Amino acid sequence: MNTTSKTWKLVALGLALALILVGALGIGGWVVTRAYAQGPWGGYGTMGPGMMGGWGSGGYQGCGMMGLWSGTYPEGTKTLTLDEAKAAVERSLKAWNNADLAMGEVMEFSNHYYAVVQEKSTGIGAFEVLADKVTGAVFPEPGPNMMWNLKYGMMGGYGMGMMGGYGYGGMMGGTTGPTLSTDMPVDEAQAIELAQKYLDTVRPGTAADEEADVFYGYYTVEVLTGGKVTGMLSVNGYTGQVWYHTWHGAFVGMTE
């Protein structure tokens, strides 16, 4: 056998082994996500949505920051009920060791469950989380929740921590936090007005809800079509910038 022939056979063997390995990792990732293990954010899954992407095979694919995905679940996949998603969020809150945090409304979208966490003492929104519909893994919502949240976000306060931790001090987690309020240059009425102007331009036929959830640094507003929830967006309380939540998918239902 000549050298060229041997080389091509080795290349073919290498490619075959690589394909087998990729397939095994894909199947393995799916199996591991079904394992039950309580983590800092609660919920289930030892391999929950990751910072750099998701997992799986077929239509269940990761797509970037926090492991959000697009597409459809594999046929026959069992997903959590709304009550099971609420229980997963409640479990995750215990890891914070903060008796002032309580779960607010929970909404089901085609891609995941969404929940608001509030401060009992103030009624102000603390942060927003998403729950995986298969594993129950709970993780911070990306976007405004992480980038604009001045108390519980990446940039300061009693935050989730850029590296996945949590505690006072912001990006890396510290020991003390600032005194913050929701008295922002852009008030709630102005935020809703800005949201409607955005929708009139970008999503004609949709309307901003008459009330907003107030967080430290921003507002989150439900988007309505024909009076029914079809999405949501956030408005920065200091700049008026609007950020539409493109990661949810279709709205399914909700509970208070």
Give the start-to-end residue ranges of the domains of the chain. 82-168, 188-255
* pLDDT confidence bin for 123, thresholds 50/70/90: very high
* The two structure tokens encoding residue 136: 């129950």
Tell me: pLDDT of 51 over 60: no
Compute CA distances 116 → 34, 123, 140, 169, whole Å: 25, 11, 10, 22
What does the mean pLDDT of the chain come to? 74
Tell me: pLDDT of 160 over 80: no
Tell me: pLDDT of 142 over 60: yes
The string of DSSP codes covering the chain is: --HHHHHHHHHHHHHHHHHHHHHHHHHHHHHHHTS----TT-SS-TT--BTTB---STT-EE-SGGG-EES-PPTT-----HHHHHHHHHHHHHTTT-TTEEEEEEEEESS-EEEEEEETTT--EEEEEEE-TTT--EEE-STHHHHT-TTTSSSSSEE--TTS--EETSSS--S------S--SS-HHHHHHHHHHHHHHHSTT-EEEEEEEEETTEEEEEEEETTEEEEEEEEETTT--EEE-TTS-SEEEEE-
Tell me: pLDDT of 195 over 90: yes
Least confident of 8-12, 125-129, 180-184, 203-207: 8-12
> Which residues, 6 or more positions from 106, have their beta carbon under 8 angstroms from its beta carbon?
82, 85, 86, 89, 113, 114, 115, 254, 255
pTM above 0.95, yes or no: no
pLDDT at position 156 is: 57
Tell me: pLDDT of 143 over 70: yes
Top mean pLDDT of 17-26, 61-70, 150-159, 167-176 is at 150-159
Say if CB 36 and CB 91 are below 8 A apart: no
pLDDT at position 35 is: 31
> Which residues, 6 or more positions from 94, have their beta carbon under 8 angstroms from its beta carbon?
42
Mean pLDDT of 169-184: 54
* The two structure tokens encoding residue 177: 């936090």
Fold of 82-168: Nuclear Transport Factor 2; Chain: A, (3.10.450)
* pLDDT confidence bin for 10, thresholds 50/70/90: low
